[in-house]
Structure formats: C-alpha cells, structure tokens
Amino acid sequence: MIDVLIDITLLAFLAITSIAILRMTNLFATVMLYGIFSLLSAGLFVVMDAPDVAFTEAAVGAGISTVLMLATLALVKRPQRPFYEEAPRTHRAWLPLVVVVVTGSALIYGTWDIPGFGAADAPAQTHVARYYIDNAMPETGVPNVVTAVLASYRGFDTLGEVTVIFTAAVAVLLLIGGRRSVKADKSKTQEKQDEA
Amino acid sequence: MLTAATLAILVTMALALVRALAGPSTYDRIAAVNMFGTKTVLLIAVLAFLSGRTDLLDIALVYALINFIGVIAALKLVTHGNFHSADSAVNDTDKEVTE
C-alpha cells in the first residue's frame, strides 16, 4: 500500500520536474533540476527492487553528469552576462508538439503488448534467465546473478565497452585537454605583464 | 510509524521541489537540490526498513556522498565561474601575492 503511494508520488514529482525542465530557459536551474530528476528516478529504481541500477543512476546521473554539465556551462558561458540569466523566449512550437504527441501515443500503444512488471511468463524470464539463475553460482562463483552475467558471461562485451569509453576519453583529452588551459593561463599572464 | 515517516519525507520532498522550481536566486535552487538529495537518502533508508532489505542502506550512503560532491561542484562554479579545479584558486592567490 505504502509502496504504491511512494510510486505514485515519485512519478508525479518526476512528471513535474520534466515539465519544469522543458519550460525553463535558465540553464543553471535546468542542470539543478536534472539532478533532482536523477535522484527521483534512482529512488524509483530502489522502489522497484533494482538497487544495482539505482547505484549506477546515483553515481552517473546525479554525480558525474551534474559536474560535467556544470563544467560545460562554465566553458560555454557568454562573457558579457552571467550564465544563469534567463534567455528570451523566441518561438512557439506547435508542429513539434503534434509530432511528439503522435509519437508518444504510438509508443504508449506499443506498451499495451508488453507483459506486466515482473510477470512470470515474460520472454525475459522464460528463456535464458532460468539458465543463469540455475548455473551462475556453480559456473562463475559470483553470488550476484547480474554481476555474473556482466562480468563473466559477457566479459568480452564489457571489456569492449570499457575499451570504447577509454578510447573516447583519451581522444577528448588529446583534443581539448591539458595544454590549452596552460596556454590560456600563459596568455592571461602575458596580458597582465603587457598591461603592467 | 515508518509510514508516517515516509509521508513526512514525501511532503518535505514536495516542498523542496517547489523551492527548486520557484526559487528566484541560484542559491535557493542549490539548497533545494541539496535538500532533495538528503530527503532521497532518508526515503531510501526508510524504504530499506519497510521492505526489510538492509542492503539498500549502502545506496543511501552513496547518495549522501554524491550529493555532497554535486553541491560542492555547483557552488564552486557559481563562486569562481570556472572549474579549473583546485589549482585555479591556488594560482589566483599566488597571483594576488605576487602582484
């Protein structure tokens, strides 16, 4: 009973936050609301018995993403005015609204065929899930089935993902990292010296 | 008892959400997000005892840590206007000293 109440309340908060993010033109406030959105969805994941997903959502969604978006905001802010000022509203968008409503209706229509949450006859439960539940512990020795699938059965897949992320991080650091900020500092100090 | 605590936390979350949406100044919003994070930690802790799954308490701890880091990052951005990490403040003070 209380679970249902928490579900409904958190979902209502989620909807309110999403609409507020859409309507807000203040970028700083939007990032703050993203943080709230992330905390809310992580709370929902906890209520739906997915603590590992909630862990990831908390670390990535609420933690790293907020810091990264704030860092982006600090880099792209306009020099003249503060970055947290309201931007003027420029246009009305009826066509995008119609497209979104039609697409959303199609997607909601599609969800009618999805089996219920945690249903025993769902395809996800009937094929390989039984095998993993029966054999994960004796085959891999990992007590958590999700961890066993990610780190052992799909170990090479995870290794590939990690390689991709590492390569992307190295490329980004090579392109925009390190040396540029040193140069900027140098030019600033040179300007100061010139002025002096 | 836990039900009453849950209801109280949900009401507080609603109030914090209102402040985050309405808050005229930047600091109102930062304080609202910080408070919302705290309420999420409390909600998860209460949920852990409601459902008897005490391993959820680990997640509550992670949230508390991450909430702290996020608020520090936001405040640093607002105060300094940039993120050149800790050494920017050090450099600034150095420059002031040398100048």
CA atoms lying within 13 Å on the CB side of residue A66: 34
Tens-place pLDDT, residues B4-56: 888 898 899 889 888 888 877 878 888 888 888 888 889 888 888 887 877 77
Could A35 and B70 be called an inter-chain contact, meaning their C-beta atoms sit closer than 8 Å? Answer: yes
B33-66 exposure pattern, b = at least 16 Cβ within 10 A, e = fewer: bbbbbbbbbbbbbbbbebeeeeebeebbebbbeb
In a domain, A189, yes or no: no
B61 CB within 8 Å of a chain A CB: no
> In this complex, how many residue pairs, one in chain A and one in chain B, have their CB atoms less than 8 Å apart?
113
Q: Per-domain residue ranges for chain B?
A: 2-98
Contact residues for B75 (Cβ-Cβ < 8 A; gap 6+): B30
Could B77 and A33 be called an inter-chain contact, meaning their C-beta atoms sit closer than 8 Å? Answer: no
* Count of structural domains, chain A: 1
A69 CB within 8 Å of a chain B CB: no
Residue B83: pLDDT band with limits 50, 70, 90: low
Closest CA in chain B for residue A10: B10
Tens-place pLDDT, residues A66-84: 888 887 877 776 554 554 5
Residue A74's domain spans which residues? 1-84
Could B6 and A54 be called an inter-chain contact, meaning their C-beta atoms sit closer than 8 Å? Answer: no
A17 in Cβ contact with A61 (< 8 Å): no
A54 CB within 8 Å of a chain B CB: yes
Smallest Cβ distance to B83: which of A2, A17, A71?
A71
Tens-place pLDDT, residues A35-65: 888 888 888 888 887 877 888 887 888 778 8
Tens-place pLDDT, residues A115-164: 877 777 777 777 777 888 888 888 888 777 878 888 888 888 989 999 99
